[in-house]
Amino acid sequence: MASFKRTEIGFRAAKTMLCLVTLLTAMPALAKPSSPLAQARASCFSGGKATSDQIIAGCTAVIAAKGTKPKDLAGAYLNRGANYLAKNDSDRAIADFSELIRRNPKLSGAYTNRGEAWRRKGEVVKAISDLDRAIALDPKGSFAWFNRGITYSDKGEPEKAIADYNQAIRLNSIDPWYFNNRANSYGDINEFSRAMNDYDQAIRLDPKFALAYFNRGTAFRNHGNEARALADLNISIRLDPNYAAAYGNRARLFRDKGEIERALADFDHSLRLAPSEYRDAYARGNIHFDRRDFPRALSDYDHALQWNSKYAAALNARCLTRAIVGRAQEGLADCEESLRHRPGDAPTLDSRAFCHLKLGEFDAAIDGFTVALGADPRLANSLYGRGIAKRKKGDESGAQSDIAAARAIKADIADEFRAYGIE
């Protein structure tokens, strides 16, 4: 019911980096390209000096041109695919890399990039197969080892990820991303000391690496060092003022320190920068809920569910909040949906019973609170709610017993229920 699950600092949204292989072919040092094809080649093989859309358009023209040299054609497919992937258009990227592999089955970079595209689609088995092939073709290519490490991390196999990151680092020991991601995987297996050493090395290699500060701050916070965590998040935000996740996680630190206005300000900033950060909307909603500002809480839960309709915690929170503001029937639907994604969750079972209590369905409420207590016998809200329902049914002895047990767990439980419109 009121014990909504907090979203913790360090969720995995910013955990990995995309390493793409591109192929640049030499362009003559002309002040201005002399023909449409030369202009297309200049865009396609710009070396990052053009936008993704410009590169895609240029490469498309190179591919369509008659008489394009095989090296240029290969480069155009590789670069266009890489830029489709940079725009998160995985299907078109896969199509380009597949065509390139058909034309040149021994080009390791095409397998590296197609593997990353499969990973983006959640096809980790296909991703690993392609990255295996890339490594077999070019064992000294660090990108393929690194990207396979990312894929194993996504697959929930951090030990295999670490082995691949180790090899990537042996091949290229000056890339800060490799140390950053290996640190993340060390964190996944609770190797805190090794993780911190790698974050430190990533930051030594690139003192302006905002993500490494973010991740090191996460590790500090997870080990109870809130001061160091806050310092790292402050640096991360200074280096990248548009880093939404850093604002969101700094907000959680402020929230936990009781600095609620600063927490709200950071959540506001995060959600302005990235409205899709549904966890931040949910967390901000919980602050409003705790302050008994139920309309704002409801708005934030709506926001979170707009971006992730299967977010069970937000469904439970909206279930309860809807019941509090007199929309208990809608609340029941939310609780049922939440339980579909997270069966047997005690707080959600409690919220569902509370909806029945608000609707005056006292038998259903008693049964529902009893089920919730079966999942968690120390749910003060369920004990108190069941006591109220029993009182409404005329069972004063049973009511007194449940209410006394609830107060023994949570002394101010009656005040909480008054705020919910029940007493």
- Quote the Cα angle for 6-11-15, to 5°: 175
- Can you give the pLDDT at residue 5? 40
Tokens of 211: 């993500």
- Can you give the pLDDT at residue 126? 97
Nearest-angstrom CA–CA distance, 288 and 306: 18
From first to last of its 423 residues, the chain has per-residue pLDDT tens of 544 443 334 333 334 445 555 544 433 333 344 577 788 788 888 776 788 898 999 899 889 988 888 888 988 999 999 999 999 999 999 999 999 999 999 999 999 999 999 999 999 999 999 999 999 999 999 999 999 999 999 999 999 999 999 999 999 999 999 999 999 999 999 999 999 999 999 999 999 999 999 999 999 999 999 999 999 999 999 999 999 999 999 999 999 999 999 999 999 999 999 999 999 999 999 999 999 999 999 999 999 999 999 999 999 999 999 999 999 999 999 999 999 999 999 999 999 999 999 999 999 999 999 999 999 999 999 999 999 999 999 999 999 999 999 999 999 999 999 999 887
Nearest-angstrom CA–CA distance, 163 and 165: 6
Give the torsion sign (CA, 286, 289, 291, 295).
positive
Phi, psi of 128, deg, nearest 5? -65, -40
- Can you give the pLDDT at residue 34? 58
- Can you give the pLDDT at residue 38? 80
Which burial class, exposed, middle or buried, applies to 243 when counting CB atoms under 10 A from its CB (0-12, 13-18, 19+)? buried
Task: Confirm if 381 and 368 have CB atoms less than 8 A apart.
Answer: no
Give the torsion sign (CA, 41, 56, 22, 97).
negative
Q: Name residue, tokens 């949910």.
A: 282
Q: Does domain 309-423 have CATH number 1.25.40.10?
A: yes
Task: Confirm if 110 and 118 have CB atoms less than 8 A apart.
Answer: no
- Can you give the pLDDT at residue 6? 37
Which residues have C-beta within 8 Å of that of residue 193, sequence separation ≥ 6? Answer: none
CA distances in angstroms from 149 to 11, 110, 124, 167, 281, listed in the order given: 18, 17, 11, 10, 31
For the chain, what is the total number of helices (H) and then of strands (E)? 23, 0
- Can you give the pLDDT at residue 15? 43
Task: Confirm if 245 and 214 have CB atoms less than 8 A apart.
Answer: yes
